[in-house]
């Protein structure tokens, strides 16, 4: 059985070595810097595997670049709008270039936290109470159950960009203005105090759960990408039943949105170990401090093999 598995993997590698792979990185979103780091790490991994891979910095000329380079496969290493929201995926569909990660609809749904929450609620998956606010509307919290602290964030950004945790009413207006700088729709959400955990998914397998322990007040943009600002515990120290439940909910969220190939699902556990879905990242970071590679390593999958495995799923 093991020999058969190795033979199949070798056959896939042979097929990939015949193809020209474009690593799409950079882009124009607020996450351009981290996308470049992700893309460079992926590019180096593919080259170490002996594959013909080239970097493609995504800009306004992306259509001409793709046509000119004549790539056979695209490894998407873009984060945020213009790369993780289904737009580049749609372009690749039109050009008939196979690509890594989720398709157009799943990508668009996952990046738009409002629409993703609606899908999760339809599938009876647990999400924090939330309210949608549009630019130009006054602040009016509807219904009961909202009390300080609160989370205010843009509907379509990642890496905690534009996010604020509010402990005082006088800070609400400033937090709204900050979030509205990134999107015309923002989310006001109840703050769930507890452990933040994340579940990486490759193919249809949930990887070991990671607990995120930021040394700052919360998991900021800097804490995500600067070594030493956050501690990661793998596997997360959860009761056995809660651990399994987190993995099941992560996979359910992944399938509810229609994701494929790989993703990372963020969840917060309250003090009673009840899980609440936060979001699904369809193109999670792939840097030295990124969570998906850490979870894969715990599973015994090295970084280069993880990158190759994701690429193989396009076949």
Torsion sign across C-alpha atoms 95, 99, 103, 106: negative
Q: Tokens representing 265?
A: 């699902």
Eight-class DSSP state of 99: B
Q: Let me know if 266 is a catalytic residue.
A: yes
CA proximity to 263, closest of 64, 80, 101: 101
**Which is the catalytic residue, given 101, 243, 285, 290?**
285
**Which is the catalytic residue, given 156, 264, 276, 290?**
264
**Which is the catalytic residue, given 35, 102, 164, 281?**
281
Q: Let me know if 281 is a catalytic residue.
A: yes
Question: Cα 266 vs. chain centroid, distance in angstroms?
Answer: 8
Q: Let me know if 67 is exposed, middle or buried by CB neighbors in 10 A (0-12, 13-18, 19+).
A: exposed
Q: Let me know if 181 is a catalytic residue.
A: no
**Which is the catalytic residue, given 219, 225, 243, 276?**
225
**Which is the catalytic residue, given 27, 29, 31, 260?**
31
**Which is the catalytic residue, given 107, 112, 266, 276?**
266
Q: Let me know if 173 is exposed, middle or buried by CB neighbors in 10 A (0-12, 13-18, 19+).
A: exposed
> Residue 118: how many CA atoms within 13 Å on its side-chain side?
9
Q: Let me know if 231 is a catalytic residue.
A: no
Q: Let me know if 191 is a catalytic residue.
A: no
**Which is the catalytic residue, given 84, 157, 189, 279?**
279
Q: Let me know if 244 is a catalytic residue.
A: no
Q: Let me know if 264 is a catalytic residue.
A: yes
**Which is the catalytic residue, given 159, 189, 260, 276?**
159
Strand 194-202 to strand 205-206: parallel, antiparallel, or no bridges (unpaired)? antiparallel
Eight-class DSSP state of 296: H
Residue with tokens 């651990």, as numbered in its chain: 243
Q: Let me know if 48 is a catalytic residue.
A: no
> Any idea which residues carry the catalytic annotation?
31, 159, 225, 264, 266, 279, 281, 285
């Amino acid at each position: 059985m093991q020999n058969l598995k190795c033979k199949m993997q070798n056959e896939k590698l042979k097929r990939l070595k015949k193809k020209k792979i474009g690593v799409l990185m950079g882009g124009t979103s607020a996450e351009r810097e981290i996308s470049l780091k992700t893309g460079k790490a992926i590019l180096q991994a593919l080259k170490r595997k002996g594959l013909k891979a080239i970097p493609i910095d995504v800009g306004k000329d992306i259509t001409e670049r793709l046509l000119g380079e004549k790539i056979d496969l695209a490894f998407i290493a873009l984060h945020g709008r213009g790369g993780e929201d289904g737009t580049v995926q749609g372009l690749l569909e039109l050009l008939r270039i196979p690509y890594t990660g989720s398709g157009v609809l799943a990508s668009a749904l996952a990046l738009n936290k409002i629409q993703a929450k609606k899908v999760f609620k339809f599938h009876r998956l647990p999400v924090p109470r939330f309210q949608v606010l549009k630019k130009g509307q006054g602040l009016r919290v509807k219904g009961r159950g909202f009390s300080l602290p609160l989370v205010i964030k843009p509907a379509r950004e990642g890496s905690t960009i534009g996010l604020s945790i509010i402990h005082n009413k006088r800070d609400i207006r400033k937090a709204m203005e900050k979030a509205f700088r990134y999107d015309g729709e923002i989310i006001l959400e109840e703050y769930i105090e507890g452990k933040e955990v994340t579940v990486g998914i490759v193919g249809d397998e949930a990887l070991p759960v990671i607990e995120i322990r930021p040394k700052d007040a919360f998991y900021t943009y800097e804490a995500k990408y600067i070594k030493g600002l956050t501690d990661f515990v793998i596997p997360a120290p959860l009761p056995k039943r809660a651990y399994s439940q987190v993995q099941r909910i992560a996979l359910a969220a992944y399938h509810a949105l229609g994701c494929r190939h790989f993703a990372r699902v963020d969840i917060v556990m309250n003090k009673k170990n009840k899980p609440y879905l936060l979001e699904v990242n369809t193109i999670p970071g792939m840097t030295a401090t990124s969570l998906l590679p850490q979870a894969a390593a715990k599973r015994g999958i090295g970084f280069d093999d993880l990158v190759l495995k994701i690429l193989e799923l396009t076949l």
